[in-house]
Amino acid sequence: MPAGVGSLSLTDLATGNKQAMAVASRSRLAMAAHQAVLDIARGLPDEPIRRATLDVLANPSSRVHLASPSAADKAAVRQDLLDAGLISDSVPVEGIFPTIVDVDQAPQAFWSAPGSTYTGHHAYPGGLAVHEWLNARIAKAFVEGYDAIYHLSSDPKAIDASIAQAAPLWHDIHKVTVFQWRADGSELVEYPIADTGAHHPLSGAEAILRGLPLPFVIALLSAHDAPTTVKSNSTQTGLQRLVNYIRAAAIVARRDPVALGLLQRASDGRFQLSQDPPRIEGHINHLSDHDYLFSNDSAATLIGTLRQVAVDYGIDPARQEPRFNLFRNLVFAQVSDIRLYGVLQTSGRQGVKVVIGREVDLSQLSV
C-alpha cells in the first residue's frame, strides 16, 4: 500500500507522475474525458468562470502553495487549522501542502490524476477527468430537469448554469496535488481536513485564490455535503459541515471568510453561511458528485478480480506490487473498472480476461 509522507522523494513523485501521464496519454477513455471536459468548459455561458475553468484545467498549479511560500507560512496555516479544530495533531504540514517541485506548474496533468484514493473510485490515471465528465453531465441534466419540470427559468437568476456545471469541474481539482503518483504505481496518502479529504477544502481554497465568485466557491464546497439542515451524520448537519469546509478553505487561502462574504457571525458568535437560503447550485453539485457511490464498489470488486487474473500475465500481486499496480492502472485507464464490473456480472472472471486480452494494450508492462 502507499507509504506515508515521511518516505517521499521528489524523484519518486516525478517518476510516478511521468509514468501516470504516459498511461493516461495512451488511454482513449482518459483522452475522451479530457476533451469532453474541455468542451463543457468552453460552453459555459459566464465568461470569467469559463476563462478561469479553462485556465485551471490547462495547468492546475497550486495557488495554495503560492499563498504560503515559506515553511513558516505553511506551519502557521497548519496551526490555524489546528486551533480552529479543523484538523487533528496527527495531520502534518505535508498533509495540507503536498510535496511539489514547481509552484508555477502542476505536478501532473489534469488528465492523468486519479479520481480518489488507491482503492477508491476512479483510482487510475485519467480517473479524475472521467469522474468530472460524468459529474458535469449529471449537473447539466439537473439544471435542465429542474427547468423542464419546475420552470425555474421563469426567474433567470434562480439557477446560474455556469456555476452549476463548472462546480463539478473544480470540486476535486486539488487531487492533482493530493493524489500524486509514486514510482511504484500507488498514490500519496491523503489526510483529513475539516473531517473530509484534504483535496476538498484545498480545491475551495484554490477557487478563492483564483478569484472565482463567492456563490461559486460555496457551490464547489457543497459537493461533499449539501447546504441542508438534515443531518448527514450523528453530530452535524450538512450545512454545519459545509461551514467548516468554507472555514478550512479560507484558512488555507489565508483569507477571512467573513470579510470575503462567504460566512457571517451569528449573535452567539458561531459561523453561519452567508446565503439565506442557500442557492440551488450547491445542491446540484452535491447530487452530481454521487457518481462515486457505485464506482467505489466497482473499484474494490475489480481490484480483487485483477489480483486473481494477474497471475495469468505472470504477475504475483503479493510479491510484485509495483508491477501489479501498473497492470491495474493500464487496465482501468483503458476500459475502466465500471465497464469490467458489468462484464464480471454477466460473463464472470473469464469474460474480464477476454475484454483485457481484446481491448487493453499491456505493452507498457514490458518497458
Render pLDDT for 246-268 as a digit per residue (tens, 0 to 9): 999 999 999 999 999 999 999 99
Backbone phi, then psi, for 41, in 5-degree steps? Answer: -65, -40
Q: Residue type at 89?
A: D
| β partners of residue 99 | none
Q: Is the pTM of this model over 0.75?
A: yes
pLDDT at 340 over 60: yes
Q: Residue type at 306?
A: L
Domain edges within the chain: 5-290, 293-366
Residue 218: the pLDDT is: 98
| Average predicted confidence (pLDDT) for the chain | 94
DSSP H or E run through 25 = helix 10-25
Interior/surface letters 122-152, b for 16+ CB within 10 angstroms, e for the rest: bbbbbbbbbbbbbbbebbbebbeebeeeeeb
Q: Look at residue 263 and give its three-state secondary structure.
A: strand
DSSP letter assigned to residue 269 = S
- The predicted model gives 24-36 an average pLDDT of 98
Confidence of residue 232 (pLDDT cuts 50, 70, 90): low
Cα–Cα distance, 345 to 13 (Å, whole number): 36
With CA atoms as reference, report the closest residue to 288 among 183, 151, 170: 170
Tens digit of pLDDT for each residue in 65-115? Answer: 999 999 999 999 999 999 999 999 999 999 999 999 899 999 999 999 999
pLDDT at 291 over 70: yes
Residue 3: the pLDDT is: 38
Cα–Cα distance, 219 to 164 (Å, whole number): 8
Task: Point out the least confidently predicted range of 151-160, 201-210, 335-344.
Answer: 151-160
Distances (CA, A) of 283 to 5, 100, 239, 260: 35, 33, 11, 22
Residue 6: the pLDDT is: 43
Confidence of residue 48 (pLDDT cuts 50, 70, 90): very high
Q: Apex CA 250: angle with CA 246 and CA 253, to 5°?
A: 140
Judged on CB neighbours under 10 Å (0-12, 13-18, 19+), 54 is middle
Residue 183: the pLDDT is: 95
- The predicted model gives 146-168 an average pLDDT of 94
pLDDT at 4 over 50: no
What percent of the chain has pLDDT above 90? 90
Residue 366: the pLDDT is: 79
